[in-house]
């Protein structure tokens, strides 16, 4: 087993390993190439087992981190707890700081995401879906990223601190890569032939995953987000798959996901910070000034 930088990875063999046990898109090479500054796999030479992780460099210090638009990584192949511990000992020798998340029960910090295996609409969701119908909204599939993305980017820039032009570029490039690999679903929210919102999803083997979505004021007030999400969940479940909301600990987002009858599932975090004092001091000051 060895740590392999993305520049030396055999993408075909790595992606074949990911595809053999696909749950989410986060570990595919095209996904990580789009969202990561650098990424690595810890794998055997034959690519029969392994896992991926991203890194970011600040002030000349490279640390393991969670890349944008990644929830968690999976361990592919057969792994014992002892082998996972040994892998992190090797990673710890090379990287002085780490935040790593996985759906496997490692570490102590627990977070949750939401999935739907059946639809059970709350009264609030029903009202919004009915409102969308009364306002003559239409949900249509599209192959064009730009119309819905323009609305999404404008909304996220207002709502999310830190969602800047760099984040927009990363997300846009990710959507392009998913589209190239025929893994992107685009649901446009349309009124009178005008796009007023849209949602983006990863089309997986056993589950479809919500990536991001947004609508303008008219689209939100008219129930467009509920209507589009409901249609995609229906299509996913009718195809015999599970719908993955990606999940959030933000109360409003989590509540929205639960409106469709989703249930919480856990993922876990391993972290350490053995960075030099000067780095921690500058980093702490930077984060304070950023607020």
The CATH number covering residue 86 comes to 3.40.630
Is the confidence at residue 291, as pLDDT, over 60? no
Q: Is 23 in contact with 207 (CB distance < 8 Å)?
A: yes
Please classify residue 202 by burial: count the beta carbons closer than 10 Å to its beta carbon, then call 0-12 exposed, 13-18 middle and 19+ buried.
buried
Distance, CA of 176 to CA of 80 (rounded, Å) = 36
Is the confidence at residue 225, as pLDDT, over 90? yes
pLDDT at site 284: 80
Q: What is the pTM of this model?
A: 0.90
Sign of CA pseudo-dihedral 208, 243, 170, 68: negative
Among residues 19, 58, 68, which one has the least CA distance to residue 206? 19
Q: Is 234 in contact with 119 (CB distance < 8 Å)?
A: yes
Q: Is 260 in contact with 98 (CB distance < 8 Å)?
A: no
Do 245 and 136 share a domain, yes or no? yes
pLDDT at site 109: 79
Do 278 and 237 share a domain, yes or no? no
Distance, CA of 279 to CA of 282 (rounded, Å) = 5
Distance, CA of 36 to CA of 187 (rounded, Å) = 26
Do 135 and 96 share a domain, yes or no? no
Do 255 and 272 share a domain, yes or no? no
Do 166 and 59 share a domain, yes or no? no
Do 77 and 177 share a domain, yes or no? no
Distance, CA of 248 to CA of 65 (rounded, Å) = 18
For residue 68, count other CB atoms closer than 10 A to its CB. 18
Kindly give the interhelix angle for 123-134 and 224-238, rounded to the nearest 10 degrees: 110
pLDDT at site 164: 77
Do 128 and 150 share a domain, yes or no? yes
The radius of gyration of the chain from alpha carbons, rounded to an integer in Å, stands at 20
Which of the 8 DSSP states describes residue 249?
S
What is the residue range of 20's domain?
2-110+268-290
Q: Is 115 in contact with 242 (CB distance < 8 Å)?
A: yes
Which of the 8 DSSP states describes residue 247?
-
Give percent of the chain above pLDDT 90: 81
Read off the pLDDT of residues 79-92 as tens digits, 9 standing for 90 and up.
999 999 999 999 99
Work out the mean pLDDT of the chain and round it to a whole number.
Answer: 92
pLDDT at site 100: 96
Instruction: Taking residues 5-9, report their average pLDDT.
Output: 97
Read off the pLDDT of residues 153-206 as tens digits, 9 standing for 90 and up.
888 777 765 677 888 899 999 999 999 999 999 999 999 999 999 999 999 999
pLDDT at site 281: 86
Do 158 and 248 share a domain, yes or no? yes
Do 128 and 254 share a domain, yes or no? yes
| pLDDT tier, 242 (very low <50, low <70, confident <90, very high otherwise) | very high
3-class SS of residue 31: helix
Q: Look at the chain and report how many structural domains it folds into.
A: 2
| pLDDT tier, 38 (very low <50, low <70, confident <90, very high otherwise) | very high
Tokens at 232, concatenated: 């995609």
Is the confidence at residue 137, as pLDDT, over 80? yes
pLDDT at site 269: 93
Do 127 and 243 share a domain, yes or no? yes
> For the domain that residue 221 is a member of, what is the CATH number?
3.40.630.30
Q: Is 60 in contact with 206 (CB distance < 8 Å)?
A: no
Do 31 and 159 share a domain, yes or no? no
Is the confidence at residue 289, as pLDDT, over 70? no
Do 102 and 126 share a domain, yes or no? no
Among residues 160, 180, 174, which one has the least CA distance to residue 209? 174
For residue 240, count other CB atoms closer than 10 A to its CB. 7
């Amino acid at each position: 087993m060895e740590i392999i930088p993305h520049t030396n990875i055999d993408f075909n063999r790595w992606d074949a390993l990911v595809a053999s046990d696909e749950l989410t898109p986060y570990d595919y090479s095209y996904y990580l190439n789009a969202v990561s500054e650098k990424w690595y796999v810890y794998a055997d030479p034959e690519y029969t087992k392994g896992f991926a992780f991203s890194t970011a460099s600040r002030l000349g210090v490279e640390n393991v981190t969670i890349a944008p638009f990644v929830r968690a990584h999976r361990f592919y192949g057969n792994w014992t707890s002892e082998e996972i511990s040994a892998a992190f000992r090797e990673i710890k020798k090379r990287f002085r700081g780490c935040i790593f998340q996985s759906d496997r029960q490692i570490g102590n910090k627990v977070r949750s995401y939401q999935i739907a295996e059946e639809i059970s609409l709350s009264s609030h969701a029903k009202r919004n879906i009915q409102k969308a119908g009364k306002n003559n909204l239409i949900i249509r599939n599209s192959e064009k990223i730009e119309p819905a993305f323009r609305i999404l980017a404008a909304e996220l820039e207002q709502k999310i601190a830190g969602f800047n032009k760099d984040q927009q570029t990363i997300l846009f490039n990710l959507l392009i890569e998913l589209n190239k690999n025929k893994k992107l679903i685009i649901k446009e929210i349309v009124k009178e032939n005008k796009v007023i919102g849209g949602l983006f999803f990863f089309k997986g083997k056993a589950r479809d995953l919500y990536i991001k979505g947004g609508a303008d004021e008219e689209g939100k007030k008219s129930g467009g987000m509920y209507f589009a999400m409901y249609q995609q969940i229906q299509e996913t479940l009718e195809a015999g798959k599970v719908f993955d909301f990606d999940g959030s600990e933000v109360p409003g987002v989590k509540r929205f996901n639960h409106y469709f009858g989703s249930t919480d599932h856990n993922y876990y975090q391993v972290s350490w910070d053995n960075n030099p004092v000067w780095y921690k001091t500058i980093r702490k000051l930077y984060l304070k000034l950023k607020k």
